[in-house]
A = this chain, B = another copy of it.
């Protein structure tokens, strides 16, 4: 058993600084341990008391009759160091430090935190500034959270890891009120030692936990987090995350253009997506979605039957589902006939969706049959059942009618509870039917059940792992355009045809190989904004290219004070769509960015982003998704009679660019293709301009 297992399931707990007054924060942990049924040994430690609530109280850690598995330290930051050191010296496996006043307060606090960590030595540490942990599976509460005042909690299958103690309390009390069962909750907070990734790794192997919910402020060790999350995906345990910091503006900047569009929160999006983590954006979804996934059911498609006895709430749910792209088709003829056979002689209209049985249809047998008929229909992937005010009078009958319909199908059934009816919500959740209390969360729950099913089916086989490459061949520094594109094409991204020339005469000789009109550019690794200095000429007639070169030489000299010595003569591309392909590296990893070209696309930030897997790069499926995610994707897909673009070649180019980033690793400081022309189907892509910066050593 490792230290985290001891921390989660200790046989003995020392509570250092325990108070005999349970109304004080320092009085709570001992009181809660007893109240919620901890079966092991509790050692209160406080020189001011001989006993607390019938338990012998020890003056210090040294006096304890045995080393405890876990020490809960309730002392302030000034005295916590000493207690932690004593616990470590006694051989305690792990300590929990609740005090605040550490890294969260600034640099002085950060030093205090470093001292605390040093004092712990090889003993593991949860906190500081944590509210502790709650293991509902085993009825062990190592926490001062006021939410534990609640008399009793039903244990369930959802594990919670939070980087805020207050959020643990909020989720604990909210789950209890809704009858949503949790397994373990831990507040990692300052993460001086044990962090999010450690507990995620633990919960992946915890048999009592089938779904994991995360409240995230920062992922400190992305590789470990990614590894643990991918293990969870392999085991079929959904991980759901709510991350704050979405609105931080301009947290990081990057040199290249696409990088500037990235922003660190989008990197979290990319990280979570890559890890198979379902990111949620409404706080209540952090309970509702894990609860829906804990049912173990997923949607195979987007067609939802809504069964209701009250029109308005059915309409609300249908409208919300429609906004999210779900379909609510009418029942097929056979299903409508089954429904009609259940309910005769009334005005209910059963061949619509929502299927409204009206008040007269609120009979358990009818409901049981109706849910069954809808679940049996090949035209529906899920059933949303609406509970109206009139159901309040007979909650058990209603709930058992739905529950009885579940066996024999894997299709999800969810309940939307329209009035305030916590008793019904708890009953539904208690029998494994996810109960939701807003139309939006009903939609979110079904959407997550759909997405999780797809995560399971995704194809992550990469066709472009890193390749053997002799790094000593690499030019170093800021490459000129020709060098940059030569590098890109070595990894499989084709460029426009081009030739470097120095004089008007060379240009005139070379130009005819490129057609009627050509592009002429300054070639320089110093000047990045060539067009600003008169260094770009488009659609130059081949006969005029020499003269144009001479003029460009003059213009550049006028603008920069230095004569231009080298020029690039390129074929002119027409009929393609311009994109930008770049990469972005930050503490979370390396990501590829694809952007539509043009000023309008730039204004609406029409970009997509995917994390590069550190081992396997980018999968072809991911590249295809990146393309389709662009808001203006139809421009590539035959919109209004345009030719379809060569999407296969574009996807291959993205994957190849990823292979380059992965192969060159930290040697590659910056790289961007802008523009990347995507030609009509079958004609491929061409890098028409690009930059690359290479570092001299792997540093």
Contacts and interface: CB of A to CB of B under 8 A. Distances in A.
A638 interface: no
Contact of A319 (B177, B245, B393, B604): B245
A418 interface: yes
A674 to B, nearest CB: 15
Contacts of A217: 315
A388 interface: yes
A528 interface: no
A235 B94 CA distance: 64
Interface stretch (A145-153, A202-210, A519-527, A562-570): A145-153
Interface stretch (A222-230, A297-305, A306-314, A475-483): A306-314
A25 interface: yes
A474 to B, nearest CB: 34
Interface stretch (A270-278, A542-550, A594-602): A594-602
A166 interface: yes
A419 B25 contact: no
Interface in A623-641: 631-632, 634-635, 639-640
A497 interface: no
A249 B147 CA distance: 46
A215 B315 CA distance: 11
Interface size class of A (residues with CB under 8 A): 35 or more
Contacts of A439: 283
Contacts of A169: 310, 388-390, 418-419
Interface in A204-250: 215, 217, 244-249
B311 A388 contact: no
Given A173-B389, A315-B217, A418-B166, A603 B639 contact: yes
A453 interface: no
A166 B313 contact: yes
A311 B603 contact: no
Contacts of A282: 438, 440
Given A421-B173, A600-B632, A631-B603, A312 B388 contact: no
Given A310-B165, A315-B244, A349 B106 contact: yes
A395 B163 CA distance: 26
Contacts of A683: none
Contacts of A176: 420
Contacts of A177: 420
Contacts of A284: 438
A50 interface: no
B283 A100 contact: no
Among A162, A284, A631, A639, chain B packs the most CB atoms within 10 A around the CB of: A284
Nearest to A323: B247
Contacts of A598: 600
A164 interface: yes
A392 interface: yes
Given A25-B390, A105-B349, A420-B177, A164 B283 contact: no
Nearest to A392: B146
B323 A246 contact: yes
Contact of A149 (B283, B392, B440): B392
A316 interface: yes
A329 interface: no
A315 B596 CA distance: 34
A197 to B, nearest CB: 19
A2 interface: no
A419 B247 contact: no
Interface string A541-577: 0000000000000000000000000000000000000
Interface in A3-34: 23, 25
Contacts of A389: 145-147, 166, 169-170, 173
A174 interface: yes
Contacts of A47: none
Contact of A166 (B172, B312, B318): B312
Nearest to A603: B632
Oligomer copy total = 2
Nearest to A187: B312
A322 interface: yes
Contacts of A679: none
Interface in A329-352: 346-347, 349
A545 B632 CA distance: 37
Contacts of A53: none
Contacts of A100: 347, 358-359
Contacts of A163: 312
B603 A174 contact: no
A617 to B, nearest CB: 31
Contact of A322 (B147, B247, B323, B346): B247
Contacts of A249: 322
Contacts of A418: 166-167, 169-170
Interface in A152-210: 162-167, 169-170, 172-174, 176-177
B419 A147 contact: yes
Interface in A262-281: none
A429 to B, nearest CB: 14
Contact of A347 (B109, B247, B599): B109
A244 to B, nearest CB: 4
A319 B215 CA distance: 13
Contact of A599 (B109, B165, B166, B635): B635
Among A104, A174, A390, A391, chain B packs the most CB atoms within 10 A around the CB of: A390
A101 interface: yes
Contacts of A374: none
Contact of A390 (B146, B315, B388, B599): B146
Among A215, A316, A419, chain B packs the most CB atoms within 10 A around the CB of: A419
Given A164-B311, A170-B389, A319 B419 contact: no
17 contacts: A100-B347, A104-B349, A147-B392, A165-B311, A173-B420, A174-B419, A215-B312, A217-B315, A247-B318, A282-B438, A283-B316, A283-B438, A284-B438, A598-B600, A603-B634, A604-B631, A604-B632
The 5 closest A-B pairs by CB, nearest first: A164-B312, A247-B322, A101-B347, A166-B310, A169-B389
